[in-house]
Amino acid sequence: MVHIKRLELSHFKSFGGTTQVPLLTGFTVVSGPNGSGKSNILDALLFALGLASSKGMRAERLPDLVNHNQGNRGTAEASVTVTFEIDEVEGDLHEWSVTRKLRVTKQGTYTSNYYINGAACTLTELHEQLSQLRVYPEGYNVVLQGDVTGIISMNAKERREIIDELAGVANFDRKIVQAKDT
Ligand code: ATP
Ligand code: MG
């Protein structure tokens, strides 16, 4: 069993300081008034795991994800860490973490870096590791607002592609295309 145990958000969107969001096994509900940052927690998950574009995280561009109230310092930084708990062998738990840091200069240029257990990695390496946990950018590990309506209005071929994705077949199809291209 794999589950996300904790999210740590630092200066990400509406989260000014550093906030830890614990997720228990089973079902977790986040409740709060409108605009209090519930959906921003999901955006943080998409951000750290490299699963969505800035639009997917409801921002015009990546620098908009950094908390606006960081004062007048030279470089603004946002970071999110997602900690997974992996139970490979019965009772043998270990943690595995992914961090993404976004640094934005005063001029508006930015850099974005990913880390696995604190060691820098590329997005391709991260996706390779995440696919072993059956987390895919094209997958439905995170179901966003509008996704369900989208599925209902799809044609048969598009709906079939979702089943391929869920069954894990699509990943092999992508590898075949990749191998043919190289
Ligand atoms: P609802 O119940 O309406 O869905 P919600 O709890 O999901 O609300 P979010 O969409 O997570 O709310 O949060 C929206 C808030 O986040 C807005 O008040 C917006 O101003 C704030 N916000 C977004 N980006 C930033 C940022 N970069 N810096 C500071 N605040 C931000
Ligand atoms: Mg919301």
Whether the model clears a pTM of 0.80, i.e. scores above it, the answer is yes
Burial label, 17 (beta-carbon count in 10 A; 0-12, 13-18, 19+): exposed
Give ipTM to 2 decimals: 0.98
Q: How is residue 106 written in tokens?
A: 């005063």
- Res 72: pLDDT: 65
71-115 per-position pLDDT tens digit: 666 889 999 999 999 987 777 889 999 999 999 998 889 999 999
Does residue 139 have a pLDDT over 90? no
Q: What gap in Å lies between CA 46 and CA 144, rounded to an integer?
A: 10
- Res 98: pLDDT: 98
Ligand 1 proximity of 11 Cβ (cutoff 6 Å): no
Q: What gap in Å lies between CA 171 and CA 179, rounded to an integer?
A: 12
Q: How is residue 151 written in tokens?
A: 């599925």
pLDDT, mean over the chain: 91
Ligand 2 centre distance from Cα of residue 31 (Å): 10
Ligand 2 centre distance from Cα of residue 19 (Å): 18
The torsion of the CA quartet 35, 41, 47, 48, rounded to 10 degrees, works out to 160
**Which residues are documented as binding site?**
33-40
Q: CATH 3.40.50.300 spans which residues of the chain?
A: 2-136
- Residues 45 and 21 sit within 8 Å (Cβ to Cβ): no
Residues ≥6 apart with Cβ < 8 Å to 130: 49, 98, 136
Average pLDDT, integer, range 131-153: 86
- Res 148: pLDDT: 87
Q: What are phi and psi of 115, to 5 degrees?
A: -140, 140
Ligand 1 proximity of 99 Cβ (cutoff 6 Å): no
Ligand 1 atom at minimal distance to the Cα of residue 14: 30
- Res 103: pLDDT: 96
Q: Which CATH class is domain 2-136?
A: alpha beta
